[in-house]
Amino acid sequence: MAEQFPPVACAEVTGGRDATRNGHRADVHDAAPPAPSSVPAGDGPYRPIAPQPREALPRQAYAAIDLGTNNCRLLIARPSGENFVVIDAFSRAVRLGEGLAQTGRLSQIAMDRALSALRICADKLCRRSVQLAHSVATEACRQAENGAEFIERVRSETGIALDIISTREEARLAMLGCHILLEPGSGPAMIFDIGGGSTELVVIDSAEPVPRILDWHSVPWGVVSLTETCGSEGEDHASRAARYVRMRELVSDSFAAFADRAAGLRATGPGRGPLRLLGTSGTVTTLAGLHLDLPHYDRRAVDGLIVPTDAMRAISARLSSLSLAGRRELPCIGRERADLVVAGCAILETILDVWPADRLGIADRGIREGILRSLMAANGQGERLRAELRRLRRI
């Protein structure tokens, strides 16, 4: 449920030094960007806008918070016709689901990390004069015995009312936030989101401007839950290889029923063009950065990129064979993702088995953008957005 905020006595910060904090600029989010290509073009779907006088910007700001199993992310934006302008953003790895696979509970240290990040989010909501926000929590809070207690603690200590959403809603929001990056084409397409605690897959018919959902599936395997379930990776190549095989088997078993349905959709779905596939997650964006051989991660180069799936499989095989120390030395991975990226590779390769497309679209956007589009459509911002929201609710 969206939170309504009364006007607050906080100075609204626009532009200047604060607008570039955490490496984010004020960007315009296109409702219908140019078709993706295999090479980055300019600044991609997010393009910088020229500075505007303070009074020229509408005052109402919308916010989306996505508290996942691994990350806490915030996006604040203002409507701009059928699009929206991002005015602030924040992301921090909090590993809320750390240890959950073993204990069934959120640990005190993990909750403290998440609360620290959410306090920063609450401060940004105040300073940006946000009046309408939707804050969601996903798999870690769905699974944890003390998930509801943690949600109440967040509300009492930060004022943020987190909504523990279903896997169905998580899949819908992720698709709503990124489907515009799908390659043009006919026939069914798949969009997937590899999270920290779960993975969602959605098959759509995108023949119409607003996609029609054909099927969806969610499994409780994400980069954190799969990593912790499979335990230590071992010190030698044979141990790492055996662990990777085990990861692939666990994910493949959980996809089995959906894989059969997906095969039927590929055979009988509308149109018979090449299979299209779009992924949104830290796994696919990290691997895309490695594919481009970037010295450090660059969202503008990755969001909207199209990568051959054979290249993604090759990168996955390489990463799964490297030691933890070796992965830490790679650009775009570092210490933060080094222990989790192998699980992401196992999930990605299994998705490629289920939906054997030749090319993979990369989206550095998802649930937060889906929340913002939903909020703006529900609040009367843009006929296209409202039509899209009505259609995508049918999941």
- The share of the chain scoring above pLDDT 70, in percent, equals 79
Residue 379 has pLDDT above 80, yes or no: no
Residue 95 has pLDDT above 90, yes or no: yes
Residue 279 has pLDDT above 70, yes or no: yes
Residue 320 has pLDDT above 90, yes or no: yes
Q: Give the three-state DSSP class for 374.
A: helix
Indicate the residue type of 231. G
Residue 53 has pLDDT above 50, yes or no: no
Residue 386 has pLDDT above 70, yes or no: no
Helices 167-178 and 367-378 sit at what angle, rounded to 10 degrees?
A: 90
Positive or negative: CA dihedral 87, 91, 96, 97 = positive
Residue 6 has pLDDT above 50, yes or no: no
Under 8 Å between Cβ of 216 and 355: no
- pLDDT, residue 288, reads 97
- pLDDT, residue 131, reads 82
Give the closest residue to 300 by CA, choosing from 17, 14, 24, 109: 24
Residue 37 has pLDDT above 50, yes or no: no
Per-residue pLDDT, averaged over 351-374, amounts to 95
Helices (H), 62-166: 100-103, 108-127, 139-143, 147-158
CATH number for the segment(s) 169-363 = 3.30.420.150
What is the overall mean pLDDT for the chain?
83
- pLDDT, residue 271, reads 56
Per-residue pLDDT, averaged over 193-218, amounts to 89
Under 8 Å between Cβ of 198 and 139: yes
For domain 3-166+369-392, give the fold. Answer: Nucleotidyltransferase; domain 5 (3.30.420)
Concatenated DSSP letters of 271-288: -----EEEEESHHHHHHH
pTM: 0.81
Where along the chain do its domains lie?
3-166+369-392, 169-363
Task: Give the pair of three-digit tokens for residue 167.
Answer: 């896997």
Q: Would the CATH topology of 3-166+369-392 be identical to that of 169-363?
A: yes
CA distance 48 to 25: 7
